[in-house]
Structure 1
Amino acid sequence: MTTYAFDEDRHAIIAIQETGPSRAAATFAYVRRDVPADAIRHLAEALSRLSAQVWRTYTHPASAADEQGADTEGRRRAQNREAFTVVEAALSRPNLPSGGVLEVAYNPVEESAHRVGRALHDIGDADLSKRVRAEVRAELGAIERAELGDLSGRARQALALTRADASPVQVQAADKILDADPFGGPGLFKDIEPAAAAIAAAHWLQAAADVTTEATGYAATEILQEADNIEALAHETPTLVLEQLELGLSPYETITTLIRGAMTVAEGRIPDLNELLEHVTEVEMLARQDPGLRFALLKELRTTPLDPKRPAHGLLEDLLGGIRGCWLIYQEDASEDDGDFTEEVRAEANAHRDRLT
């Protein structure tokens, strides 16, 4: 999302965009010197809130909701996305107080646009209003491109976000990068939306684990724990991914389920209450055998295996570490007759490309 700030020295509004590895800042509007600073700060805050709401339709698409149909989360998300069509009208003709009453739109995207419109109405600068409308159109256009998998220009903001779904275009682009380098090239972080990159990385991790299992005899779900004895790596999450893949889930199902759960935790909710209760019950049973374990086990209990602040980015890093872990075991335990790890993984991944469709 874009964050807007007031530059008091130049009496201007600055747009700050995070684009993954870095941030970019640009001045998009100078404001008349006679406009009070508080009015400009209010406009900047309203623009930031609008940007957050419209980008939320990208990170939380209707397709990723658990429930669809009338009066469900899926339908509400769809309505938020549909509100893009009324944003410009709300900027130009916002709901204004009348007789001490203010009509507030139920839709958060629409209401955020009305707030920007009211801030512009209070300032009363036609040129500033024109610039703001153009700025908002550019933001909406960036989201529309990101939804299609085009992360050029302003749409590169998607690189800094975690999405509960993934563009097939981006998944295929990530797969090509991993085909060139199964350990992951810098393009995975600079050019690919992180959830899509993690889906492709899960496919390549499965290929790496299968190759390593064939060469060493280790079970796929044992490899990374063994690799941790050679070189410290975050083995828990990629092992969990391998377990889910071995059960027959696709990389898409496995990765989006983990990411959506972490996004739910980030909002202060429990993604799967039944699973959490099962873990608590298991801890209590173990504690009966050894009461001293109870506190230690409860400390390890987590509502998500991912970092809720950056679930897709952290998961991608762990999956690439998992591929390296497979290589470590392959190097140490494979016989001299085994071939080149990279070429074998590439062949295995390409032979099972249908996992990504």
Structure 2
Amino acid sequence: MTRYAIDEARGELAASWSTGYGDVSTTVAALPVASTSQQRLVLAAALTALSGQLWRCYTHPASASPTLEINSDGWRRQQQRDSFAAVVNSVRRPNLPDEHGTLTVSYDPVEECAHRVGRALHVMTDETLTAAVAADLEAEIAAVGQAERGDLSDRARQAVELTRAAPSPTQVAEADGVLSENPLAWDRLFLDFDPAAAAVAAAHWLRAAAGVVSEASGIAVTEVLTEADNIEALPHETPTVVLELLDSGVRPYDAVSLLIREAMLVAEGEVPDLGRLRDAIDKVDRLVGEHAADGLDAAEYVATVRLTPLDPRRPARDLLEDLLTGVQGCRLLYGEYADLDDAGDDDGLEELIDEAFCREVRKRAVADKHRLL
């Protein structure tokens, strides 16, 4: 989301957002000389809060809810998205206290945040500032809509840092194309793509890579990364969970969406799967009982109980990182079983292994592409 700040030295309101690797900033407007530091900070805080609500409509779309029935979560999400059209008007004509001090407050967080920005501007009584803020908010709203369409250029690029509950099919297809060019080159996936959509494509290519290694080694697809971890330490737990889901017939899109949505629920303080939590606690209780005589600390086992295998603060990006590392782990294990002629030196042999691995993985990924799209 966009963060707003006050440049006290210049007396200006500034906006900044992430691009994946670093932030960019722009000057929104000069601030009235007569405005106080408190008034300026209130405006910046209100704008940041409004941006957070606008981008939440991107990360939590109504389409990701099971129903749009009236008063359901999906219905409320759609109401909030629909209120984008009234944001600028609410900023220009905010709800103000009446002569008795009574203030109308909206239940819609997008609408109410817009009114708060408007009230902060009302105190400053500067039409030029109000016009500049309104123009900046129009650009922010346009960026959200652009990201929803799968275009993460310009201001919409900040979506590369966000987790969207419903990955864009357009972005999935484009990320698949990047991996098709080189399954071992991923920088663009972190710079130019919605990480949830890129994770869907990465899950598809991980399954292809694990299948190639399984065929070469005789190791089960779901155990490939555990074996690779014996060669070089890697975060194998989460990609193994994904491989198990895919091996059971779940599509990459559904597997990734399931894990991400569960992590988003955890981030909001909810327990996504009570039964799984109980099973994990029962397992810990058994382990503690079995090793009580060994004097081992029960905390070691308790620490293994997690509500989600992902980092709930950044689930999509965390998942993408682990899946791509999983592909690299498959390449590592493939090198142990690849039947290639000696290239004469280690660098030459490694290059041959890379080429053979990418060729075989690409062939398998293309053959199974119907499961991705």
TM-score (norm. length: structure 1): 0.96
Query: Residues 32 and 124 of structure 2 are in contact (CA less than 8 Å); yes or no, is this contact kept in structure 1?
Result: no
Aligned pairs for 1:229-308 within 5 A = 229-291=230-292, 292=296, 294-308=298-312
Aligned counterpart, 1:345: 361
Q: Deviations over 1:64-95 (max 9, x none)?
A: 22444222111111111111011122111111
Does residue 11 of structure 2 align to residue 11 of structure 1?
A: yes
Contact 2:57 2:81 in 1 (8 A): yes
Query: 1:57 matched to which residue of 2?
Result: 57
Give me the whole-angstrom Cα distance separating, in 2, the residues matched to 1:121 and 1:289: 67
Q: Deviations over 1:292-344 (max 9, x none)?
A: 57432211111111111221111111111111111111110234499911101
Q: Find the aligned partners of 2:144 and 2:192 in 1 and give their Cα distance.
A: 16
CA distance in 2, matches of 1:275, 1:92: 50
Q: Deviations over 1:236-269 (max 9, x none)?
A: 1111110010011111111111111111112222
For residue 143 of structure 1, what is the amino acid of its counterpart? V
Greater mean alpha carbon deviation, residues 166-175 or residues 292-301 = 292-301
Q: Is 1:80–2:80 an aligned residue pair? A: yes
1:314 is aligned to 318
Q: Return 270-279 or 149-158, whichever deviates more.
A: 270-279
Pairing of 1:28-177 with structure 2 (within 5 A): 28-98=28-98, 99-177=100-178
Cα distance in 1 between the residues matched to 2:265 and 2:19: 23
Query: Which segment is superposed worse, 158-167 or 135-144?
Result: 158-167
Stretch moving more, 316-325 or 106-115: 316-325
Match of 1:100, SS state, is coil
Match of 1:225 in 2: 226
Amino acid at match of 1:354: H
Alpha-carbon contact 1:286-1:293 (below 8 Å) kept: no
> What SS does the corresponding residue of 2:14 show, helix, strand or coil?
strand
Greater shift after overlay, 273-282 or 138-147?
273-282
- Number of residues paired by the alignment? 357
Partners of 1:256 and 1:21 lie apart in 2 by 25
Instruction: Give the CA deviation at 1:278.
Output: 1.8
Question: Which runs of no fewer than 5 residues in structure 1 stay unpaired?
Answer: none
**Any idea what SS the aligned residue of 1:9 has?**
coil
Amino acid of the structure 2 residue aligned with 1:74: G
Task: Indicate conservation of the 8 Å contact 2:163/2:196, yes or no.
Answer: yes
Task: Check conservation: 1:245, 1:251, Cα contact below 8 A.
Answer: yes
CA distance 1:195–1:31, shift in 2 (3 Å): same
- Residue type of the alignment partner of 2:118: G
Which consecutive residues of structure 2, in runs of 5 or more, have no partner in the other structure? 342-352
- Stretch moving more, 167-176 or 338-347: 338-347
In the alignment, the residues of structure 1 paired with residue 90 and residue 25 of structure 2 have an alpha-carbon distance, to the nearest angstrom, of 26
Report the alpha carbon displacement of residue 120 of structure 1 after superposing the two structures with TM: 1.0
- Aligned-residue offset at 1:113: 0.3
Amino acid at match of 2:92: S
Find the counterpart in structure 2 of residue 23 from structure 1: 23
Q: Give the equivalent residue in structure 2 for 1:194.
A: 195
Distance of 2:334 and 2:242 partners within structure 1: 19
Letter of the 1:26 partner, please give it: T
Specify the code of the residue in structure 1 equivalent to 2:83.
A
Whole-angstrom distance in 1 between the partners of 2:137 and 2:274: 39
Contact persistence 2:6–2:13 (CA under 8 A): yes
Paired-residue identity, %: 50
* 1:355 maps onto 2:371 in alignment: yes
